[in-house]
Structure 1
Amino acid sequence: MLIDLEKRVLSLVDEDEVIRWTQELVRIPSVYRPEKGEAEEPAARWVEARLEEIGLETTFEFVEPGRPNVIGIWRGAEGGKTLMFEGHTDVVTEGDVSHWTYPPFEAEIVNGKMYGRGANDMKGGLVAAICAIKAIVESGVKLGGDILIGAVCDEEGRMIGIKHFVKQGWADNVDAAIVCEPEENHLCISQKGVMWMRVTATGKMAHGCMPLTGVNSAYPMAELLVTVQGIEAAQIAEHGRHEFLGQPSITPTIMRSPVRGEPQNNAMPARTEAVLDIRLIPGQSPEEIEARIKAACDTIHARDERVAFEVKVLEARAPTATDRDEPVVKVLDQA
């Protein structure tokens, strides 16, 4: 049952304003297109303006030119806990506009649904967080700690925004965080980790009619991928299925042979490249998987020293899990 204070806060949430603000934000394109000089700054400026209107302390930090983070703080009792709301201002490309039923950046509402790139992922969620903070501020409730909101850039790419946010120390004193991603109103308390790895096998190019004069890089790569499949099976056997995330995986996604230049029917590739998309569940170690793949490369090289491997980790993010008994989980479960 809601207490009177909670009812007062909820009564101050203006649904029409939530809709109107979401439309305004969706109408600000924030696809990252460096070739056109387009990025998140206009959308971030809109967020900054709303936070300042509400009365939050704001900080505007550029991670890269045109790619800022916006941070807002509402101060409560000194020494208390900090609750954070997090969202991102960038959106994925709208693609071929001819496939859209309604224009992607006009946020039209038809039969009770808003159509627009980013309405769901995740400008609607970001606006919801802003409006929730606004209602709390307007209610005059005395908080036992601080509210922090971070609207970061580049969630859809290299995640430079949240990395910069953490590096700058904004997350140091956060006790609980609500990430406002669209998850069909489900509480998500676990998240897979990811490691993207690029493996390159190098041999020696030769003409197809004289293969013995070269070293075909495709074969050692094929052997490695079969071994990687075995590593995946071993990880599944060891770690099983997570109750929310399912099983871990190692998926070859990009294959290039040759890596550069135009492929020819009669040219044996000197270099073959594969990108592995490795998805991790809690309990797995990215370092262990990397070590196993490197060991497999070393084994192949030991049998034929003419073959060289290079392994480069492009990105690594550990899996996360929040205990279902954490206070923030229990409170949100009852909301």
Structure 2
Amino acid sequence: MWEKSVGVTAESRTPQRERSAVFAAVGAHVPSIVVTNDDLAARLDTSDEWITSRTGIRTRQVVEPGGSTSDLAIAAGMAALRAAGSDASIDAVVLATSTPDRLVPATAPAVAAGLGLAGVPAFDVDAVCSGFVYGLAVANGLIAAATADRVLLIGADTFSTIVDPTDRATAPLFGDGAGAVVLRAGEPDEPGALLAFELGSDGALAELITVRDGWFAMQGQAVYRQAVTRMAGAARGVLARTGWEPGDVDSFVGHQANLRILRAVGADLGVDADRVHTNVTEVGNTVSASIPLALAHAHAAGRIRAGHRVLLSAFGGGATWGAATLVWPELS
């Protein structure tokens, strides 16, 4: 199994003046069951045209009965570790999710054990759809503090298990999936280094996105307005911290909530539409998994290439929001 480090301490590491988390590999996994808009229309008062025109979503994948977030997280983590190859020695596992396998204990330790990484520190981060960006900041902090040299960060969610299947407003929106990145210690100015972050939250907006009586609930129009405003605002903030203008961005990967939000944020920022990367049409809103899944798919398709200046931005329940920047490295 994968090499692991146990009992890691800052004192055991070579001191460095500056350390940044650097992208070393990406991986992704979606379950095999595909649900089309026509499938939904067969049991809901809706249609393919209605769903597509409002969300841009045509299909989504969902876990089999009994499937779990940890199953998807392990599969995506394994894909990232394989892509990392000799760089796959991991010192910590961070799992961004808001659908853990159970309330207690956290799911990350089970994921680490499933990957052969039992013994390394592992914990969950819950910022709903902003979870992966928050997780990047946490992983960057572990590496900058020399607590870890390599971190496996996974975003995974199974919202099909908490969305009311009879609710035509929410059932079409969500799919299940997981995306993962291996982050290694490196220099702040090398390709792949995380350059800057902009994070925020407002608990006064907690009721916009929540779970009631076991089912996901959302105030759609208010969420749309907040998502566009907060994602664009966070993006502007992180661009200013990085020293980039919107026109400098080669690839914008936002949280894949729906196509209307992504297009609205891109237009608000002045990022050309052909630089806004999406996969929401095929996989739906996969919550914490959406940004790493979109990154992995865009990388595999050659839409994000080495040297691209990449902007990430997300909005989620809490309410939370966040953005990050990096220059895409040469990855296998």
- Do the two structures share a fold, i.e. TM-score over 0.5? no
| Structure exhibiting the larger radius of gyration computed from Cα positions | 1
> Quick one: higher RCO (CA 8 Å, sep 6+), 1 or 2?
2
TM-score, normalization by structure 1: 0.26
